[in-house]
Structures are given as C-alpha cells and as structure tokens.
A = this chain, B = another copy of it.
C-alpha cells in the first residue's frame, strides 16, 4: 500500500467522483413522505450496485419501512470497521426558496469556493460517498480493500429511524465490528477537523394541566376559578433558579465536571462565541453562570421549554379561562444522568406544585442517556493524527450539544465505540433550502478517510 499514490488517485478522480455523487443526489429519496418510497428503493439499489463495484458483498435488506443496505468485504483480520451513513434526505419544502431544483445537482463557484448544491449534498449523501470514494481509490491502487469492512446504510434517518433498533437487534451478530465510523457530523469550524467524543442525551416530556372541566368566561369566573395557564407558567418558571441551574430534585446526579485537560483543549479551540451568538441575533450568553461557552453546549445539562399552548391564541382577543394548558419540556443530559429517574423526579415536582382542583397528564417523549466515547483505545488517537495530517491543523476531540442516537445504539446493542467524523460546515444549510456541500469537504473528506484507513489498518 502506498498512501501517497492513493491520495494522488483521489485527487485525479475528483471529477468522476463528483459525477457519481450527483447521480446519487438526483434520486429523490425523501424518507418521510410515502410518495417517495420508490425513490428510497432506488437510492438503496444504487448504493448496492456501487458497493458491489468495490468488490463488497452488498445487498438491500427489507424492513417494515425503507430498506437497509448492508455490505461486507475486505481482507479477514483486525481491524474490522463498520461504516454508517444514511441515504435518505429531508423534504424540500418550501420549494420556492430554492434557487434551483433540489434534485438537479450542480457544482457551483461561490466566493468561498466550489460547492455541490442539492438536497442531501451534505446530509448525508456527500458525506457517505467520501468513504466509498476512499475505498474506490484504495481498491484501484492496490487491488484490494484496506481491512475487513461492514458497510451499513439506513434510509430512515430523517424520519425517526423506526426500523433501526429492531434491525440492529435482529442482525447484531452480523453487524458487530471492532469500531464504528459514522460520517454524519461536521468539522469543528471550516478549517479544524474533529472527532466527537461526547454527545448529550435527551429526555422529552409533555405536560397538560387541567383546571375547570370546560372553558370559562373570565367575566363570569375570573378571580375565583383556577386558571391552568397561570398554574403552568408558575411551574415552568420554577424549573430554573436565579443562577440558571435546573431545580428538579436530583437533576445534577451523575453530572461530571470536565477535567483540566479537556477544559484546556476546548479553550484552545478558540470558539468564536461572539459570532456564534451574533449569527442568531444574540449578544450575550444566557443559561448557567460561571461556565465557558463550549462547556455549556457540550457538557452541561439543560432544561428547555420547546412549546407551550393554552387558551385563545388566534387573532384578536377572547376573555377565556381555558380548561387546559400544555407545554413540551426537554432536558439535555450529560455524564451518567439517568433519563427515567429525572422524568420521575420532574413529574413528582410538578405534582407537588399543583394547586387544588388541578390535575396533570404527562406524555413521555424521547429518552436517551448521554454518550461518552472511550477514547483510550488506540483507534481514536490514530484517527485524530490522520485527520491532523490531512488538514494541517490539530484535529480536536469535541463534544456535541445534540443527541445522535445511532452512536448510542452501536454501544448499547453492538458493544462498539463509535467515532463520529464528518466534514460538514456550519453553512451547509442541511434541512433547509439550498443545501450544499463544499467540494473541499468532499475532496479532503475522501482523503481523510484514506489516511484514517491506512493508519488504522497499518
């Protein structure tokens, strides 16, 4: 194996690689809309064909929803890598905000460089193709693949992954590998590559408070009848104290302080807090006092109200005292915080704050603990150094404020750690009109995988 020659081949193959990506981008694989079920099948078929052309034993696997694509191949032995991506894309509405047909991809010149413009260019077709293009160059240059490989593509990531857990459980033996690689995230910023090593968990809870048995007129009952909106606002307002800490009893059990090393390395990232906030019209950090910005985003738990409704909310005014008021509350979790223990404590706190004549009904929503990768295995540092070489700047271990459930499933169902490495940029407009993927992301992403594969299989 000669890494330099593989990288050279990647450089030379870029025009052809972009053509292949654009072929895949033309397939309207919107998973959430049943009208596009045939397109999802077509995208899976396209990938099976492409994987077979790389010498992998690939097949489309049925699920109650859209198919999975699973492929195996490469020389027996360690390491055995599993690569995950998803071929489905977000819906495209509002279509009128797109500058061109979202499924007619084009390479465009922009002031910041060339981009591939299309729905799914960044999320996740462009990203998953970086891995396949790295394999293609490897195979062309060496006649074989770098190591034992399992490829696992899903077609329901943008619609809640209903088939994912059952499929992983039913095929656990087949899918197990030494480490998982997930390419569905971004660079730390446009120049700094990153491996995500911690993800926040998520707990969703909906509560509906009922007071009177029907809507009342505030002229007739106001001053005497309990108003569930007032009860709700009082409870929600009590979920944080004056310093921004969450008041749910026991909430901070299992919340670790970040170590000095982590703190220093995050400080070294030079996170541009001012522009991060400024981009969304803010000038000051809210939330817990006495924490650095990245700590707030990556390693501190939160409680947020994501929706609230009650009474009359149309145009004009109606002097109603409503029977009910509702809110959707979510918690981002870190460390070993226990989602179900927090759900129970939250419910108890709400119950205890209820005045007479009020009842509360809870609807549980998503629940998953935080994810913490064990970076002590050699693979993480090996991959980080490979990324550093490609990008010419120290690659970072970073956190992620969101929740990427697949990483947790690899751990809980298959017992594997996952490395989340991706090349998306903040301005890729994923889930929005005019999605794009930088040609630089595609090109250097492909080269990054070649380097990582070389390093891991050395």
Contacts and interface: CB of A to CB of B under 8 A. Distances in A.
B319 A222 contact: no
B206 A317 contact: yes
With a 10 A CB-CB cut-off, give which of A214, A283, A401 has the most chain B CB atoms. Answer: A401
A300 B366 contact: no
A224 B310 contact: no
B357 A221 contact: no
Interface stretch (A82-90, A262-270, A286-294): A286-294
A25 interface: no
B330 A280 contact: no
A308 to B, nearest CB: 5
A316 to B, nearest CB: 7
A219 B227 CA distance: 32
Nearest to A279: B213
Contacts of A232: 233, 308
Given A213-B280, A355-B286, A356-B284, A319 B202 contact: yes
A229 B297 contact: no
Contacts of A100: none
Interface in A218-241: 218-227, 229-230, 232-234, 236-238, 240
A56 interface: no
B328 A282 contact: no
A287 to B, nearest CB: 5
Contacts of A212: 280-282
Contacts of A293: 224
A296 B223 contact: yes
Contacts of A310: 305, 307-309
A340 interface: no
A224 B285 contact: yes
Contacts of A365: 316-317
Contacts of A219: 200, 202, 332, 400-403
A161 to B, nearest CB: 14
Interface string A304-324: 111111111100111111100
A281 B216 CA distance: 11
Contact of A317 (B204, B220, B227, B234): B204
Q: Taking the full assembly, how many copies of this chain does it contain?
A: 2
Contacts of A230: 236-237, 240, 304-305
Contact size class for A? 35 or more
Interface string A328-357: 101010000000000000000000000111
A357 B302 contact: no
A233 B305 contact: yes
A227 B281 contact: no
A448 interface: no
A146 interface: no
Interface string A75-118: 00000000000000000000000000000000000000000000
A258 interface: no
Contacts of A218: 302, 304, 306, 330, 332
With a 10 A CB-CB cut-off, give which of A224, A310, A402, A403 has the most chain B CB atoms. Answer: A224
A320 B302 CA distance: 13
Contacts of A332: 218-219, 222-223
List the 9 closest A-B pairs by CB distance, nearest first.
A219-B402, A213-B281, A307-B311, A237-B237, A226-B286, A309-B313, A233-B236, A223-B302, A229-B305
15 contacts: A213-B280, A218-B302, A219-B332, A219-B400, A219-B402, A223-B297, A225-B287, A229-B305, A230-B240, A233-B236, A233-B237, A237-B238, A284-B356, A306-B311, A317-B328
Given A284-B356, A317-B330, 18 more contacts: A202-B319, A220-B401, A222-B330, A223-B296, A224-B296, A225-B282, A226-B286, A229-B236, A230-B305, A232-B308, A233-B305, A286-B355, A308-B308, A308-B311, A313-B328, A316-B365, A317-B366, A319-B330
Interface of A: 200, 202, 204, 206, 211-214, 216-227, 229-230, 232-234, 236-238, 240, 277, 280-288, 293, 296-297, 300-302, 304-313, 316-322, 325-328, 330, 332, 355-357, 365-366, 400-403
